[in-house]
A and B are shown apart, each in its own frame.
Chain A
């Protein structure tokens, strides 16, 4: 709201200058629009007005360009209500030595409210699955707003030097549905209204020096993410047997029968430092390199994640019409390990009385969490293009190697290597006609895979109860899984066609794209995905005061993936 006030004050301050038309020193043009709007609704608004207010409000539109002797201002503002507005300001002062840019956008977002009514199933003696919505019928909404502001100084006499400073602020405020579950007396799903008041903000600083032969730039950003509401409390049910009403599950649960916080959000700190260098001519090539270092810290757990990335690029246009472009990147991600120390409670009734689950079954529930994102990655992209009489041909080769520290995509293998080869042809076979055809083929060694993630082969023995020694346990079922699952292709093909034709006052544009990929490289892995899209648009301006258009868009996607349905009896 401070931003709105600031921009409004500035706009009001500039408006009289802008209105002083015809003076020798000032040129201004633009428009101001004022009005009112309202809305009427019926039925569910979650989709039909997902990102729009229906409360009514003012119509305020300001479009102003002011060019003075030492001041240039470009202001665009649009206000629908407090949660739906946009303001853009570009200001140059002191003969362009000071440049100030500010953008502010606010949008509402309606969120669905699950009634949970399908979560009801009962046995003869007790509920097995039930729900409680503590705020039924509540309309959920989060208002989102983001502000970026930046001021640049280019001192007189030091035109090659630019010093910049800015501020970034993003807020999400409102309420959403939050669910949790109590176990064993029945699966009791509980729903509450959770307040959302999240803010991410911080400064940006940068300095750059541009010379005739190249440029150097250094920047630093620091962001803090803070949650005004870090969690909400829920009163969890006692874990008792649904039929016998005895507390026989205490050794199997970390929590029950008390009020505990859930839906936790952790505050974060993040800093990013970057240094860039570019040279206009090194052996005929335009080249550049950059380094980026970033650290993110979870202030709740103390876990830190570090990123270090280095990029390089080179480009040259040769005399024979050949153009070459190459860019590469190496980066590493390193996130701290975290030991998960499970709360191991002692049973108070039944066969596990006086013992923990570990003592009964010998299963160790504690584990060291090793980040699957830890990796060293090398990327390269090479483009070669040449103009011919029949059009421009371009060849492309993309390469990526991900070397993970811990996560295995095949037993004993942590590397994924991707190659993409592409060829495109752009032509203008006759006046007003432009055609483009592009084909790419990708192939992957060891695509991302979750090993032994589905299809348990466990066939448990008959048992009188879940506590009987012969009864199968969930961990034994998990350990018997044999299927590797994925949502990443082992190979894929991508084709795109584009056409644009303009004749007189008419323009026809069309496009078609198709992508298909598959992966059957793992055990019982059978993943296939294909999508196609088609667009056609016709626009015509038959007379100076009349224009019309018509268009058609079509999209189709098919996904095939195997699944196993575990069957339980009892």
Chain B
């Protein structure tokens, strides 16, 4: 994560925040240690070689926010903000969680 706050001139403020998150998880392969079973039932297919991959998780998330604030008329200000979030699901199973969203706002404020 990283960010900064900057006031280049008295009535202006600018802020930026960035967060980058990576998460992954996996489990070991399931080993069937029963050769006598396989010998007894040669026509049965007990294939667990891919089962452990069903639980794999590999998610990347980005959160970014940019905002600006301008003071005017002594006690008033105008604020504009933009925020972006994105999730990348690199190991989807049944449901793909990949998605993104953008939020933007505009507001005016007064100090008492």
With beta carbons under 8 angstroms apart, the residue of A34, A45, A546 that contacts B109 is A34
Given contacts A548-B3, A550-B1, contact A35 B97 (CB under 8 A): no
Q: How far is the CA of A33 from the CA of B101 in the complex (A)?
A: 24
- Quick check: B94 and A118 within 8 Å, CB to CB? yes
Q: How far is the CA of A19 from the CA of B75 in the complex (A)?
A: 13
Interface assignment of A319: CB less than 8 Å from any CB of chain B: no
Mask of B45-83 contacts with A, CB within 8 angstroms, 1/0: 010100000000001010000000000000000010000
With beta carbons under 8 angstroms apart, the residue of B30, B34, B37, B109 that contacts A33 is B109
Query: What is the CB-to-nearest-CB distance from A399 to chain B, in angstroms, rounded to a whole number?
Result: 35
Q: Which of B86, B97, B101, B110 has the most CB of A within 10 A?
A: B101
With beta carbons under 8 angstroms apart, the residue of B37, B46, B109 that contacts A31 is B109
- Quick check: A48 and B101 within 8 Å, CB to CB? yes
- Quick check: B101 and A32 within 8 Å, CB to CB? no
Q: How far is the CA of A138 from the CA of B97 in the complex (A)?
A: 16
- Quick check: B7 and A545 within 8 Å, CB to CB? yes
- Quick check: A548 and B107 within 8 Å, CB to CB? no
Task: Collect the chain B residues with CB atoms within 8 Å of residue A59's CB.
Answer: 105-107
Q: How far is the CA of A31 from the CA of B110 in the complex (A)?
A: 5
Interface assignment of B35: CB less than 8 Å from any CB of chain A: no
Query: What is the CB-to-nearest-CB distance from B34 to chain A, in angstroms, rounded to a whole number?
Result: 7
Interface assignment of A117: CB less than 8 Å from any CB of chain B: yes
Task: Collect the chain A residues with CB atoms within 8 Å of residue B5's CB.
Answer: 546-548
With beta carbons under 8 angstroms apart, the residue of B7, B59, B61, B104 that contacts A39 is B104
Chain B residues with a Cβ closer than 8 Å to the other chain, count: 42
- Quick check: A35 and B46 within 8 Å, CB to CB? no
- Quick check: A48 and B105 within 8 Å, CB to CB? no
Task: Collect the chain A residues with CB atoms within 8 Å of residue B105's CB.
Answer: 35-38, 59
Task: Collect the chain B residues with CB atoms within 8 Å of residue A40's CB.
Answer: 101-102
Given contacts A31-B112, A40-B101, A545-B6, contact A47 B107 (CB under 8 A): no
- Quick check: A44 and B97 within 8 Å, CB to CB? yes
Q: How far is the CA of A46 from the CA of B61 in the complex (A)?
A: 13
Interface assignment of A318: CB less than 8 Å from any CB of chain B: no
Interface assignment of A254: CB less than 8 Å from any CB of chain B: no
Query: What is the CB-to-nearest-CB distance from B93 to chain A, in angstroms, rounded to a whole number?
Result: 8
Main secondary structure of the interface of A (DSSP, over half): strand
Q: How far is the CA of A86 from the CA of B34 in the complex (A)?
A: 59
Chain A: interface residue count, which band? 35 or more
Task: Collect the chain A residues with CB atoms within 8 Å of residue B97's CB.
Answer: 44, 46-48
Interface assignment of A29: CB less than 8 Å from any CB of chain B: yes
Query: What is the CB-to-nearest-CB distance from A27 to chain B, in angstroms, rounded to a whole number?
Result: 10
- Quick check: A37 and B101 within 8 Å, CB to CB? no
- Quick check: B6 and A39 within 8 Å, CB to CB? no
- Quick check: A48 and B46 within 8 Å, CB to CB? no
Interface assignment of A18: CB less than 8 Å from any CB of chain B: yes
- Quick check: B112 and A29 within 8 Å, CB to CB? yes
Who on chain B is nearest to A35 by CB?
B107
Query: What is the CB-to-nearest-CB distance from B91 to chain A, in angstroms, rounded to a whole number?
Result: 13
Given contacts A115-B95, A549-B2, A549-B4, contact A32 B109 (CB under 8 A): yes
Q: How far is the CA of A30 from the CA of B111 in the complex (A)?
A: 6
- Quick check: B3 and A48 within 8 Å, CB to CB? no
Mask of B1-43 contacts with A, CB within 8 angstroms, 1/0: 1111111100000000000000000000010101001000100
Query: What is the CB-to-nearest-CB distance from A224 to chain B, in angstroms, rounded to a whole number?
Result: 37
Interface assignment of A504: CB less than 8 Å from any CB of chain B: no
With beta carbons under 8 angstroms apart, the residue of A32, A47, A550 that contacts B99 is A47
- Quick check: A549 and B3 within 8 Å, CB to CB? yes
Who on chain B is nearest to A19 by CB?
B112
Q: How far is the CA of A569 from the CA of B42 in the complex (A)?
A: 12
Who on chain A is nearest to B18 by CB?
A550
Q: Which B residues form the contact surface with A (CB < 8 A)?
A: 1-8, 30, 32, 34, 37, 41, 44, 46, 48, 59, 61, 79, 85-87, 89, 94-112
Can you report 22 residue pairs joining A to B where beta carbons are below 8 Å apart? A19-B112, A31-B109, A34-B109, A35-B105, A37-B106, A40-B102, A41-B102, A44-B87, A46-B97, A47-B61, A48-B97, A48-B99, A48-B101, A52-B101, A54-B103, A544-B7, A549-B2, A549-B3, A550-B2, A551-B2, A563-B30, A567-B37
